[in-house]
Amino acid sequence: MRILVINSGSSSIKFRLSEAVEENGALATRPALIEGAVKGIRGLVSFEVTGQQLGVSTDKIQAQDHIQAMRVLMDRLGDSLDSVEAVGHRVVHGGDRYVESTLITEQVEAGIDELSELAPLHNPACLAGIRGAKAVMGATVPMVAVFDTAFHRTMPEVARHYAIPTELADRHRIRRYGFHGIAHASLANGYAACTGRSLREARIITIQLGNGCSIAAIAEGRSIDTSMGFTPLEGLVMGTRSGDVDASLVSLLAEREKVEPAEVERWLNERSGLLGLSGRSNDMRELLRVAEQQRDERAELAIELFCYRARKYIGSYLAVLGGADAIVFGGGIGENAPDVRKRICRNMAWCGISLNADRNQAAVGLRPGSAAKISPDGSMPAVYVVAADEETWITKETAHCVQAIG
Ligand code: ADP
């Protein structure tokens, strides 16, 4: 089955066209026929595409919104789209309603729209991607929504609730939904593929460190807890997000800085994290560079706090799982920054976590879908780096969903 995956972010659309095939009774995916991204929507956008018969091409185009960008994308893909049998869309928030990948009908579209209230930065972009694809491809090609929250539907009640009045939580649908589910599922599956172990027998902690960062405790292939909660603001220190803070900061800062609470929330989302601490950048590469070369103390503190928070969560998830078989790093930082992995795992020999320095240093720039062990043989929990392949996960989910409806 030929499947086009659309991954719409606030200012970009990533895409991949590939084939899902049955192999030995399981679904497998063939290498991408075409993949790429449209970046910088709302102005002069760059369009990058790589294809088996195309080589690599990059150019600049004008697109004011996702629908225009989708039109350009579909235009450029041209004839390759004729054979598309289904489209899989990544959708950030499925709330309590969509707990598995779902065929998109008008009703589902309206449901995703309604959930924009819970994910105002993310769901509207996903929806624009869906509407853009429909406008161009017509309504006959089945489209599937693959939700980022769905993987965490298995979290037990104790992990899903905040200790606030139940009536308030129920009235406003306040739950710990968790996000980055597609990434955590891909990391867990990457670990299983690399070790040949079944996820049913494993307890693992997956750590997704990119611009957004989150960590998940996974037992028997099911998410037991995760660091992001009602919104993607909770948990680890991120590029521009604070992660965990005392909730009373919001009213204090609103009052003292004479702004609305919503403005403080924006600061916590957009001006905090690595950027806020360092006063310089949300880019880990840049911070590692200035911390080393210029002995920049704020950059150093930002990196240390980032790693300290991750270590603290690993400790708590070891307690939640009763120990772990493996720790799995992924995301732009997790895949490419040995120094950050080393700092996070520092002084954890008490629980068996240690790194092999050479393996850690060598595990950078892995091919999507591949994995590398970075702990010494025989140590437990073992530590792995996995280059998550979200598009493959979305392709398989889409194929399963379309097959299920016959
Ligand atoms: P997103 O969450 O937007 O998908 P990515 O997963 O691409 O983000 O991760 C972006 C982060 O990865 C940035 O902080 C970037 O600095 C960091 N990163 C990428 N390559 C490296 C590297 N070689 N060393 C350190 N950090 C890196």
Correct CATH for 2-147 of 3.90.1170.50, 3.40.1190.20, 3.40.50.300, 3.30.420.40 = 3.30.420.40
Ligand 1 proximity of 211 Cβ (cutoff 6 Å): yes
User: What is the predicted pLDDT for the residue at 55?
Assistant: 61
Average pLDDT on 325-343 reads 97
CA of 47 to the centre of ligand 1 (A): 20
Ligand 1 proximity of 331 Cβ (cutoff 6 Å): yes
CA of 238 to the centre of ligand 1 (A): 11
Residue from 140, 128, 133 nearest 73 by CA: 133
Which of 40-44, 248-252, 256-260 bottoms out in mean pLDDT, i.e. has the lowest?
A: 40-44
Contacts by 288-293 with C-beta closer than 8 Å and gap 24+?
Answer: 288/337, 288/339, 288/340
Atom from ligand 1 closest to the CA of residue 213? 2
Pocket mutation for ligand 1, best pick of 12, 285, 361 (most atoms within 8 Å of C-beta): 285
Give the strand order in the sheet containing 382-386.
222-226, 213-219, 203-209, 326-330, 382-386, 371-373
CA of 368 to the centre of ligand 1 (A): 14
Token pair 């350009």 in the structure block, residue: 72
Atom from ligand 1 closest to the CA of residue 331? 6
Ligand 1 proximity of 368 Cβ (cutoff 6 Å): no
Its pTM surpasses 0.85? yes
Active site residues: 148
Domain parsing of the chain, residue ranges: 2-147, 196-390
Q: What is the mean pLDDT of the chain?
A: 92
Query: Over 90: is that where the pLDDT of 43 sits?
Result: no
User: What is the predicted pLDDT for the residue at 125?
Assistant: 84
Architecture of domain 196-390: 2-Layer Sandwich (3.30)
Contact 211, 283 (CB under 8 A): no
Give pLDDT tens digits for 264-313: 999 999 999 999 999 999 999 999 999 999 999 999 999 999 999 999 99
Query: Over 90: is that where the pLDDT of 68 sits?
Result: no
User: What is the predicted pLDDT for the residue at 188?
Assistant: 96
Give one DSSP letter per residue of 115-150, joined into a string.
GGGT-TTTHHHHHHHHHHHHHHH-SSS-EEEEESSG
CA of 208 to the centre of ligand 1 (A): 11
Atom from ligand 1 closest to the CA of residue 212? 2
235: left (phi over 0), alpha (psi -120 to 50) or beta: left
CA of 79 to the centre of ligand 1 (A): 34
Nearest CA to ligand 1 atom 12: 332
User: What is the predicted pLDDT for the residue at 53?
Assistant: 58
Token pair 């998410």 in the structure block, residue: 223
Ligand 1 proximity of 388 Cβ (cutoff 6 Å): no
Give pLDDT tens digits for 154-175: 999 999 999 999 999 999 999 9
Which H or E element spans position 312?
A: helix 297-321
